[in-house]
Amino acid sequence: MSRISKLRKALQKAGLDALALNPSPSLTYLTGLHFHLMERPVVALFTAAGQVGLVLPELELPKVANRAEIEPFPYGEDPSAWGNAFRRAAEALKLDGARIGVEPTRLRVLELRFLEGAMPRAKFVSAAEVLASLREIKDENELAAMREAVRIAQEALRAAMRSFHEGMTERELAAEVVLQLLRHGSEPELPFQPIVSAGENAANPHAVPTDRPIRRGDLLIVDWGATYRGYFSDLTRTFAVGEVDEELECIVAVVGEANAAGRSAARPGIPAGEVDKAAREVIAKAGYGEFFTHRTGHGLGLDVHEPPFIYGGNGEILRPGMTFTVEPGIYLPGKGGARIEDDVVITETGAESLSDLPREIWRLG
């Protein structure tokens, strides 16, 4: 069954007449089309009857020239006329007064205002659950792309770390990681810019690389990922530069145990929150519970953060084909931090880690 057919059934089940999407991974997932999010609006309209309309600039028409299943509604460069294209689409697809789903984390006010102007009696509601139901379960082609994204990321990190030397700055190492990702086959649009944080900066889970030199005695966190055929990997490893403080050695070992516990707990039929609880329990028992300040993981695919989200209160049941990260961490303010992150897929009997880089502390120098 095609993805559009699956969407049609999902819309009918959810009581939605249509779905409106601007450029996003969901639009690419459903159509294979790529558009930039820019000052010119692009909106795809999928009806529960199976029609697909696309409001787009005239300059983008070649992208749909051979797509008979998509009806284009183009507009020119004069912004005062753009609303006419939306009105033509609304009339052709009979959407005024319809209940229309949108992607709340993606739809901008720009597109929403055009949609509201073209169909003033329509009601716009979240379709997040509808889209999650389609995208959460990866097929073999998607998993193959994710495996390759993981392979590229792992090989790129090994190559990047061969260039490491004491005194190198966080920013310099981050640049080397990016270079090696591209050299090893990642697509240029990375999942995110690598996080490279050393010493006290590693106590910030989402640190931005700085000009701080990486010195002996530091714990060093590298969080990076690759892109292959639009699918992402997202990994983290922790390094020790020379000899480090005994407590820093300890937290890396505890985080490794928590990572193993989370991966071991993951299996079909259990709530996603059980994975978080398994990892968090290890850290809490070691006395560092207050220093594990984020969820254990997040779904991964065409987005770097997507359902299922791995936090304690999430009752969503894990099913074969779901892919997500397991990334417990401990962050000691002013001293340092550790995180170990793997990408896993739920199988029929348990969970498989797509990543296999060593998880114990990596020693540099």
| Tokens at 13, concatenated | 């089940």
Q: Which residues contact 275 (CB under 8 A, 6 or more apart)?
A: 262, 265, 266, 296, 297, 310, 318, 326
| DSSP codes joined into one string, 119-152 | -TT-EEEE-HHHHHHHHSS--HHHHHHHHHHHHH
Predicted pLDDT of residue 280 = 98
In angstroms, rounded to a whole number, what is the distance separating the alpha carbons of residues 197 and 207?
Answer: 6
Closest CA to 159 of 171, 167, 151: 151
Q: Phi and psi at residue 72, in whole multiples of 5°? A: -85, 145
Output the pTM of the full model.
Answer: 0.95
For the domain 3-135, what is the CATH code?
A: 3.40.350.10
Predicted pLDDT of residue 365 = 77
Q: Residue 258: in which H helix or E strand, if any? A: helix 246-265
Q: Which residues contact 296 (CB under 8 A, 6 or more apart)?
A: 262, 275, 276, 279, 280, 310, 311, 326, 327, 328
Beta bridge partners, 338, equal 330
In angstroms, rounded to a whole number, what is the distance separating the alpha carbons of residues 291 and 218?
Answer: 18
8 exposure class (CB count in 10 Å sphere: 0-12, 13-18, 19+)? buried
Predicted pLDDT of residue 277 = 98
Predicted pLDDT of residue 1 = 67
pLDDT in tens, 299-333: 999 999 999 999 999 999 999 999 999 999 999 99
Phi-psi label, residue 304: left if phi above 0, alpha if psi -120 to 50, beta otherwise: alpha
Q: Which residues contact 6 (CB under 8 A, 6 or more apart)?
A: 134
Could you give the angle at the alpha carbon of 187 between the alpha carbons of 182 and 188, nearest 5°?
70
Residues of the chain under the 70 pLDDT cut: 1
Predicted pLDDT of residue 333 = 97
Contact 355, 235 (CB under 8 A): yes
Contact 14, 129 (CB under 8 A): yes
Q: Residue 285: in which H helix or E strand, if any? A: helix 273-285
Closest CA to 242 of 203, 208, 199: 199
In angstroms, rounded to a whole number, what is the distance separating the alpha carbons of residues 286 and 143?
Answer: 35
In angstroms, rounded to a whole number, what is the distance separating the alpha carbons of residues 163 and 104?
Answer: 42
Q: Was domain 140-364 assigned CATH 3.90.230.10?
A: yes
pLDDT in tens, 229-265: 999 999 999 999 999 999 999 999 999 999 999 999 9
Domain spans in the chain, listed from the N-terminal domain onward: 3-135, 140-364
Predicted pLDDT of residue 278 = 98
